[in-house]
Structure 1
Amino acid sequence: MNKLRSHAVGLVLLAGVVAAGQGTRSSGLAEFIQQLPVLEEPAPEFLKGPYVQNVTPSSVVIMWQSADSLAGLVAYGPSEALGDTIRERAARTLHEVKIEDLRPDASYYYRVISGGRASEMGSFRTAVPRGEAFSFAVYGDSQNGPFPHRAISERVLQRRPHFVLRTGDLVERGSVEKQWDLIYFRPAARLIRHAAVFAALGNHEHHARQFFDYFSLPGNEQWYSFDYGNAHFVALDSDLRYLREGSEQIHWLEKDLAASRADWKIVFFHHPPFTASMRYYTADRLARQRLLHPILEKYDVDLVFSGHDHNYERTRPIVSRGGRQPVTYVVCGNGGAKMRYIRTREWTAHAERTHGFVLVEVEGLRLRLEAWSVDGRKMDELVIDKSDSARWREYCRSAVIHETIADPDSVIRLMEKADDLRDEDNWAEAIPYFERAYRADTTCVEALAGLAECYAGMDSIAKAVSLAMLAIAKEPNLPDPYEVLVEVHTRLGQFDQALDWAMRWSKVEPDVPDAYQAMAEVHEKQARYRSALNALRRALQIWPSEADLYFELAKICEKLGDREAALAAYRRGLWWYWEESENDAVRRARERVQKLGLRSQ
């Protein structure tokens, strides 16, 4: 639906809007903008880090990045008095220092000296030996949400896990340095200073060199495994170019799992084979499921963690007929990115649209999984107890038989064709495919929403409204039909109805700014600029890191003659802009900053 309601920012002032004498009036908006949160600028000696990597029972890697090429020093020891040091032999900007000959299951402190400046005190704990209890946290998809990510990382740090698994999409685009700063390193700075992170590649990393530069991981770093305590962990690259039958990665995976004698086998990667969210109707999901599940089951994998869909979901155990041991799949793509629509399927044990993380505690043959929300609420819990035969049998009996899961192959083909045509604005061509998909699967409300969008695109307003209303009646939590209704009522000049549907939309997606941004656009069409400002203020309170919101706010401030607020908004928007290349909105924002800055002198 994004193509129907443009998010582009028009920065050209409308002549005659500002009355004489308004040019210097202040509305308090400049102060509001200045009070919105930002992320602290790092010292040049520590552009990133220091942070902990690749912890083992006897070693650890400490990394950091400096602005200038220099040789640093790491001081470490069992107490804050430290005592031992390792000095780099050569100057560099990206530093990777390995500390060896450490004791297993021991706590250490460390501090980095870089360019004459000392870092804050960090700490780490070496890996436990087999048989000792340990815990780890899991989350994915911080992607475009630095402030939710920061809140989640602080919650994780409070629980003091031994290490952290990340299921991909750490940033929006892996080749953009600014995103690594603003989305990953600064929000997670305190957590990664004390806990090693083992990351899997997501599609948004795009296999960029930065992922391989900024992480020190086992193996080839694209896919790898490691043992921790009595568990074996495997990270995969779930890009289908590398994950297919007969591929190098699949051969490696089978060999690796077959060789492990660990009590627990845990696999993590980005794309979920089982998801009840927006990617249920995708062929790629089925391809991964059909390739991976038989392998994971064959080699007694217990848990699989994924991301990609921005929500939390845990499946019931899933096992094939005659299989020895079921696999439980967990989607934890709720690590900071904008949340998405979630429903349930026949395999779903629990699902929520809530930012948060997973904490897993392993004690011998007993494993406890807890899903926590960012506000500290326990959302879900699972205990797998192999030491208690009765509980283990009960867990296995609760499994869904894999062969009974009715995967919608024909509907997927229709939906993917329809989506491709719709994305190219080929509304009329897309409609028959959406219609056939809905006839084949009347639970596919996504097809109804797609039809509503297509008819809206063709100006068949009555049909669009009828289909959008039907989609909402069948699934009130799907946001797309609300957006259709806002767009068509706005187009008809029915602004009160448009605002009413936007308000309902905001209740469906209270954690993203889109509905309030739509309200601002409706108000602006009516020249109700104060109301538009209020809507944008609310949007920025929800998501204060979105550059386009600041640009829209600046445009309206200029229309109201508030140059101080406009200048502050343009500057803050430029500070947050992190795309790979500049667009017209950014170039115009730079022009306005220059002109407004000169006029304010």
Structure 2
Amino acid sequence: MRIKLRHFILGLLLMLFGGSAAIGQSIMRKNPYLIYPGKDSTMTVLWQLKQTALSRIEWGTDTTYSLGNGQTTEYGNDHQHKFTLTKLQPSAKYYYRVIVNRDTAKGSFRAAPGPNATQIKFFAYGDTRTYPAEHDKVAKKILSIYRDDPDFQTMIIASGDYTSNGEYESDWDGQFFNPSYKNIQALLATLPYQGCIGNHEGSGVLYKKYFPYPYVSRRYWSFDYGPAHFTVIDQYTSYSTG
């Protein structure tokens, strides 16, 4: 009788707290991160789960998140989610949160400045592979800079080589999106990561999986940010004609 009762209670708890996810364990595999699609009125939030589940995103100009909300279902075949916020006001700050079952992940960003802006600020760095603890220190410094100067909460231009071997999911999980490195995760949740492919990304299959920029061809693309135009060129692709 006791065994049957235990099984009943366990089954009830699984129903209440999210199917096959272990009780007390986050369903998030990759916490929310940002990419800027190239229009000053938009921003894309992406995240990945450990299993199939509906997600809800809410956003606003403060932490009441009262401006809008939406629900997402996964795309692809690996429990990925994304949502593009639209009708944003240039340079305005927005707050968002992603809710999945009992998990909530929060972030913020500033919309891109309009084309009439007279100056822009941004961060640029790269080669974060192999040593995530060092990357976490860099992320901590960037966070402190934009917290002291809110005009620096803009974007990151990344020069590639995100992980030791970009062909391995384990490297993306362990080095770049590892939740143990709190500063990196806070950085990704508050600054859009605008990058190019490096040689350590290999074929680029996983790179394009996690950074689905609006590519023109291969890994080539460009975008406007305020009065500036940025062009991202894939140096590992031949652009010769004929």
TM-score in terms of structure 2 length = 0.78
* AA matched with 1:65: Q
Separation of aligned partners in 1, 2:109 and 2:101: 23
Separation in structure 2 between the aligned mates of residue 135 and residue 57 of structure 1, nearest angstrom: 15
CA distance in 2, matches of 1:184, 1:89: 24
| C-alpha displacement of 1:137 | 0.6
Counterpart pick for 2:163 among 161, 171, 182: 171
1:140 aligned onto 2:137:
no
Contact kept in structure 2, 1:54 and 1:218, CA below 8 Å: no
Q: Is 1:125–2:121 an aligned residue pair?
A: no
**Per-residue CA distance 1:529-555 (angstroms, 9 max, x = gap):** xxxxxxxxxxxxxxxxxxxxxxxxxxx
Please name the residue that 1:504 is paired with: none
Query: Does residue 1:225 correspond to 2:222, yes or no?
Result: yes
Which has the larger share of helix? 1
Whether the 8 Å contact between 1:163 and 1:196 is mirrored in structure 2 is yes
TM superposition shift of 1:154: 1.5
SS at match of 2:83: strand
Q: Is the 8 A contact 2:197 2:204 kept in 1?
A: no
Q: 1:103 aligns with which of 89, 97, 101?
A: 89
CA contact (8 A) 2:27 2:49 kept: yes
Distance 1:90 1:206, change over 3 A: closer
Q: 1:53 to 1:163 in 2, by over 3 A?
A: same
CA distance in 1, matches of 2:26, 2:167: 21
Question: Does residue 1:51 correspond to 2:43, yes or no?
Answer: no
Residue number among 54, 78, 88 corresponding to 2:61 in the alignment: 78
**How far, CA to CA, are the matches of 2:98 and 2:54 in structure 1?**
11
**For 2:169 and 2:190, how far apart are their aligned partners in 1?**
23
Find 2:100's aligned residue among 111, 114, 127: 114
Report if aligned partners of 1:169, 1:201 keep a CA contact under 8 Å in 2.
yes
Q: Distance in 1 between matches of 2:170 and 2:74?
A: 26
Conserved in 2, the CA contact under 8 Å of 1:218 and 1:226? Answer: no
Change in CA separation of 1:223 and 1:113 when aligned onto 2, cut-off 3 Å: same
In the other structure, the counterpart of 1:149 is 135
Q: How far apart are the structure 2 equivalents of 1:43 and 1:216?
A: 28
Pairing partner for 2:232 from 231, 235, 239: 235
CA gap of 1:149–1:90, structure 2 versus 1, over 3 A, is: closer
Cα offset for 1:165? 0.8
Aligned residue in 2 for 1:574: none
Distance 1:231 1:43, change over 3 A: farther
1:17 matched to which residue of 2?
A: none
Listed one character per residue, the Cα deviations across residues 434-460 of structure 1 (whole Å, up to 9, x for unaligned) are xxxxxxxxxxxxxxxxxxxxxxxxxxx
Structure 2 vs 1, CA of residues 73 and 212 (structure 1 numbering), >3 Å: closer, same or farther?
same
Q: How does 1:7-406 map to 2 (within 5 A)?
A: 44-55=26-37, 56-83=39-66, 84-89=68-73, 93-119=79-105, 121-132=106-117, 133-160=119-146, 161=152, 162-186=154-178, 187=181, 188-220=184-216, 222-239=219-236, 242-246=237-241
Give the Cα–Cα distance (whole angstroms) in 2 for the partners of residues 60 and 216 of structure 1. Answer: 13
Query: Would the aligned equivalents of 1:61 and 1:216 in 2 still touch at CA under 8 Å?
Result: no
Query: How far apart in 2 are the matches of 1:209 and 1:96?
Result: 18
Sequence identity of aligned pairs in percent?
Answer: 26
Say which SS state the counterpart of residue 139 (structure 2) adopts.
helix
Distance in 2 (alpha carbons) for counterparts of 1:88 and 1:222: 26
- For 1:243 and 1:126, locate their aligned partners in 2 and report how far apart those are by CA, in whole Å: 34
Name the CA distance, whole Å, in 1 between partners of 2:232 and 2:156: 13
How many residue pairs match? The answer is 203
Alpha carbons of structure 1 residues 236 and 80: separation in structure 2 relative to 1, 3 Å:
same
Q: In 1, are the aligned partners of 2:113 and 2:226 still within 8 Å (CA)?
A: yes
d(CA) in 2 for partners of 1:137, 1:90: 31
SS in 2 for 1:135: coil
- Report the Cα offset of residue 216 of structure 1: 2.9
Q: Deviations over 1:480-530 (max 9, x none)?
A: xxxxxxxxxxxxxxxxxxxxxxxxxxxxxxxxxxxxxxxxxxxxxxxxxxx
Distance 1:96 1:205 in 2: 22
| Partner AA of 1:223 in structure 2 | Y
Whole-Å separation in 2 of the counterparts to 1:177 and 1:245: 32
Partner of 2:17: none
Amino acid at match of 1:86: G
Please say if residues 74 and 81 of structure 2, whose CA atoms lie closer than 8 Å, have aligned partners that are also in contact: no
> Within 2, Cα distance between the matches of 1:165 and 1:233?
10
- The Cα RMSD (Å) is 2.0
Structure (1/2) with the larger strand percentage: 2
- Greater RCO (CA < 8 Å, at least 6 residues apart): 2
* TM superposition shift of 1:157: 2.0
Note the C-alpha offset of 1:90: 5.5
**Which is greater in Rg?**
1
CA distance in 2, matches of 1:90, 1:185: 19
- C-alpha change, 1:113 and 1:105, in structure 2 (3 Å) is same
1:175/1:210 contact within 8 Å kept? yes
Structure 2 counterpart of 1:194, one-letter code: T
Per-residue deviation, 1:244? 4.9
User: Which sits farther off after the overlay, 158-167 or 142-151?
Assistant: 158-167
- What secondary structure sits across from 1:148 in the alignment? helix
1:3-61 C-alpha deviation (Å, 9 max, x unpaired) = xxxxxxxxxxxxxxxxxxxxxxxxxxxxxxxxxxxxxxx95422112111125311111
Q: 1:93 offset after TM fit, Å?
A: 1.1
Counterpart contact for 1:59–1:99, Cα < 8 Å: yes
Aligned partners of 1:54 and 1:216 also within 8 Å: no
